[in-house]
């Protein structure tokens, strides 16, 4: 499955603006997120993410829940025909949720991390850099990968920062 994800990313995403990626191993603390899971065709990723994040923002506003960080998107399954993911925002404590909105936990642990600079839809080389480091260090993925959208959407596309994480064991 992991090889399929990398193949799809390599085929479906354009080349990144910069090939220089620093990969580091980080220790992550447990983090709770308010999320919305969706699935659809990979070529509709932007629209799907916007839909999921819109529902999360609405839920959080209606329930007076404050975000405790930047938006994430975690890939749950990926094939050339279908992408299943969850998108959301971190929160300080687990809220009561209902319906399609869920409280998701990213567990504490080790991860490989790199930062992509450029449009969010050009992260292919960031995933390639993480994959190479995974192989070089003889590590195994410990769950689905995710991205954190560091930059505000108003930042010029060429200057946007996206953190990419692979949890490892």
Q: Higher-confidence residue: 120 or 1?
A: 120
| Mean pLDDT value across residues 128-157 | 94
Tell me the average pLDDT across 138-144.
95
Q: Are 139 and 149 spatial neighbours (Cβ–Cβ below 8 Å)?
A: no
C-alpha 72, offset from chain centre: 5
Question: Residue 55 has which token pair?
Answer: 């529902």
Q: What pLDDT was estimated at residue 163?
A: 97
All domains of the chain in start order, with CATH:
1-30+109-169 (3.20.80.10), 31-106 (3.20.80.10)
Which band of pLDDT confidence, cut at 50, 70 and 90, is reported for residue 16? very low
Length of the chain: 169
The model's pLDDT over 64-112, given as tens digits with 9 standing for 90+, comes to 999 999 999 999 999 999 999 999 999 999 999 999 999 999 989 999 9
pTM of the model: 0.85
Per the CB < 8 A criterion, the answer to whether 124 and 15 are in contact is yes
- List C-alpha distances in Å: 73 to 19, 37, 84: 22, 9, 10
pLDDT given for residue 30 in this prediction: 96
Mean pLDDT, residues 131-139: 95
Long-range contacts of the stretch 61-67 (C-beta < 8 A, 24+): 63/95, 63/96, 65/34, 65/91, 65/95, 66/91, 66/92, 67/91
**β-pair type (82-91, 24-28):** unpaired
Query: What tokens appear for 53 in the block?
Result: 């994040």
**pLDDT of 38 above 60:** yes
Q: Indicate if the pLDDT at residue 138 is higher than 70.
A: yes
Tens digit of each residue's pLDDT (9 = 90 or more) over 109-130:
999 999 999 987 888 899 999 9
Q: What's the confidence (pLDDT) of residue 19? A: 56
* pLDDT value of position 12: 39
**Largest Cα–Cα separation, the chain:** 46
According to the model, what pLDDT value does residue 128 have? 93
Judge contact between 160 and 115, C-beta under 8 A. no
Least confident of 13-27, 56-70, 106-120: 13-27
């Amino acid at each position: 499955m992991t090889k399929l994800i990398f193949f799809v990313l390599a085929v479906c995403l354009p080349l990144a603006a910069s090939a220089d990626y620093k990969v580091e191993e980080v220790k992550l603390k447990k983090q709770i997120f308010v999320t919305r899971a969706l699935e659809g065709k990979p070529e509709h990723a932007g629209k799907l993410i916007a839909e999921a994040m819109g529902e999360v923002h609405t839920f959080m506003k209606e329930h007076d829940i404050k975000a405790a960080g930047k938006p994430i998107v975690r890939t749950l399954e990926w094939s050339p025909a279908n992408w299943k993911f969850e998108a959301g925002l971190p929160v300080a404590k687990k809220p009561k949720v209902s319906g399609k909105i869920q409280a998701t936990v990213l567990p504490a642990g080790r991860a490989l991390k790199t930062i992509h600079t450029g449009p969010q839809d050009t992260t292919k080389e960031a995933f390639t850099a993480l994959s190479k480091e995974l192989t070089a260090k003889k590590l195994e993925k410990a769950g689905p990968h995710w991205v954190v959208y560091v930059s505000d959407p108003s930042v010029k596309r060429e200057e946007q920062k996206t953190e990419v994480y692979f949890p490892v064991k």
